[in-house]
Structure 1
Amino acid sequence: MITPDLLETSPRQRVVALTRPFAGVAVFATVAWLGWWWLTPIVMFAIFVAVVTVTHDVVHRAIGLNARQTDWALFFCGLVLLESGHAYRITHLQHHRTFPSDDDPEGYPAHLSFLGAVVYGPVFLGRLWWWAWRRTPSARGWLLAEAAMPFTAVIAGALLWPITPGLLVYAVMAIAGSWVYPLLTVYLPHHDFGDTPLTQTRTLRGRIIPAIFLELTYHLEHHLHPQVPSHRLAELSRRLDPMFAAAGVRPRKVP
């Protein structure tokens, strides 16, 4: 089912994926400088999607980076949203190995109610970081450096407020924006999960929504074949359709 073409990432695709988050930061800085504050939530949403998509691919070594490049990509992509890329790698790979077990800190919100997943937002990344810290001593240098990011950004933003409010606004939006992760990236894709790989998550099909989310809506396909990069998930979904139909899996249609 998985042929070599589904694993391909061209140099251009790799560059676009890795630079898209930083282009988003540049756009945010521009609209903040112009005083177009009403645009900043839209730009921040685009940054979140860009970072989550490329970090997903980096974690799964799906876009052709070596080990050293992967470490630095995790660091800098995490820096964009003031998060720990290494904590994400450690806990996300555990999620793929063990969901829905009790030893899956990333998947924990899937066991909560809708409201519980919302309330869990402010502590989610901190608990992932602490789980990674305890389980992976070899990554503690990266984890410490990445843990300093949000504090440094908030302090620097407060000090620079008389010159420009942009940095503090960015930091607050990045930190608060991460509070939706348990709901959007865990609870909604996984709640009411079944006992088999085909029933533990969902897939959303359409043209507009998957494009806006850079193919992150193909969550079932990703769980079945995490080595496939995000830009090939739409094609993977088409190839899996006969298997899904035979197994009674019904993709959810969205615009």
Structure 2
Amino acid sequence: METHTLPSPPIPRLEDLGLDLLTTSARQRAVALARPLIGVLVYAIAVQFGLWYVTPLIVFWIFVAVVTVTHDVVHGGIGLSARQTDLWLFLLGAVLLESGHAYRLTHHQHHRVFPGPDDPEGDPARLTFWGSVLQGPFFLPKLWLWSLRRTRDRQAQRRWLIAEAGVHIAVIAASLLLWKTAPALLAYVVMVVCGSWVYPLLTVHLPHRDYGETPLTQTRTLRGRIIPAIFLELTYHLEHHLYPQVPSHHLARLVQRLDPFFREAGVEVWRVP
């Protein structure tokens, strides 16, 4: 007997879910942009008081804060002008010795083509677990080189990329030269550089592992109270892929409004604490 699979219901339009999900107040914008800088200040205070044992946790928080707000800046979610966007991509990238402009170029490409080819950010999704782990030290340089090649005819963006690389090299060199007098700088550099090596695994491979070809199967969503709060709602990866323009501070609200559709469409929700 011939069987028929019922088609999935259409993905709701953002207009139907509520355009209030796109709003960002001045306070929300200020808090999002200030978090990484506050994290760096807290790191300096901890070092000053000899609290070295808490510095890895502080750097972890800085990572979460930077990745979250950079996501919002890249997608134009917190109301910055074009000039402000360029400046904040530079500053936020500098906090973690990364290229904010390379991230913008490769992340937009990821949203455009995944799971297709020519997606340097999404490549770890096609690797094995250990393949994505081994990709770690090469991941950010690969994104930067891809971006540099793509901006041959966009000199303004190319200058940002080169400036970011120059600052990062200078900071790393200074941390090595001054390690006796400023060990906190070297410790910070080591933690942020080594910390970035988990990007391919944690931000690409695991969220997209065993991905499908449809928008609802290309990535996962993790639901809970503690883990999403710790990661500033970054665990709502499927929701972000469906509506990238929604800023992180509204993702929890977006989740609530999408739940009926997800249940109807049979979307698997992963439960975490």
TM-score, scaled to structure 2? 0.92
| 2:17–2:257 CA contact under 8 A, matched in 1 | no
Corresponding position: 1:246 with 2:264: yes
Corresponding position: 1:82 with 2:100: no
Q: Hey, what does 2:6 align to over in structure 1?
A: none
Q: Hey, what does 2:176 align to over in structure 1?
A: 158
Q: Hey, what does 1:192 align to over in structure 2?
A: 210
Aligned with 2:79: secondary structure? coil
Aligned with 1:90: secondary structure? helix
| 1:33–1:166 CA contact under 8 A, matched in 2 | no
Deviation at 1:161, TM superposition (A): 2.0
Alignment match of 1:202 (pick from 220, 240, 244): 220
Alignment match of 1:229 (pick from 247, 267, 272): 247
| 2:222–2:228 CA contact under 8 A, matched in 1 | yes
**Aligned sequence identity (%):** 65
Out of 137-146 and 211-220, give the one that drifted further: 137-146
Q: CA RMSD in A?
A: 0.8
Alignment match of 1:220 (pick from 219, 229, 238): 238
State the distance in 2 between where 1:183 and 1:38 align.
25
State the distance in 2 between where 1:158 and 1:189 align.
35
Deviation at 1:39, TM superposition (A): 0.7
State the distance in 2 between where 1:208 and 1:236 align.
18
| 1:81–1:175 CA contact under 8 A, matched in 2 | yes
Amino acid at match of 2:123: Y
Corresponding position: 1:5 with 2:2: no
TM-score, scaled to structure 1? 0.98
Equivalenced residue count is 255
Query: What pairs with 1:81-160 in structure 2 (closer than 5 Å)?
Result: 81-137=96-152, 138=154, 139-160=157-178
Unaligned runs of 5+ in 1: none
Amino acid at match of 1:252: W
| 1:150–1:171 CA contact under 8 A, matched in 2 | no
State the distance in 1 between where 2:112 and 2:173 align.
38
Unaligned runs of 5+ in 2: 1-15
Alignment match of 2:50 (pick from 19, 35, 43): 35
Q: Hey, what does 1:57 align to over in structure 2?
A: 72
| 1:58–1:74 CA contact under 8 A, matched in 2 | yes
Q: Hey, what does 1:23 align to over in structure 2?
A: 38
| 1:83–1:149 CA contact under 8 A, matched in 2 | no
Alignment match of 1:70 (pick from 74, 85, 92): 85
State the distance in 2 between where 1:89 and 1:236 align.
23
Deviation at 1:67, TM superposition (A): 0.5
Aligned with 2:239: secondary structure? helix
Out of 203-212 and 151-160, give the one that drifted further: 151-160
Alignment match of 1:168 (pick from 164, 186, 193): 186
Q: Deviations over 1:73-105 (max 9, x none)?
A: 100000100100000000000000000111111
State the distance in 2 between where 1:154 and 1:90 align.
24
Aligned with 2:135: secondary structure? helix
Deviation at 1:163, TM superposition (A): 1.9
Amino acid at match of 2:209: H
Larger radius of gyration: 2
Q: Deviations over 1:138-183 (max 9, x none)?
A: 2110000111233211211122222220011111111111000000
State the distance in 2 between where 1:154 and 1:127 align.
18
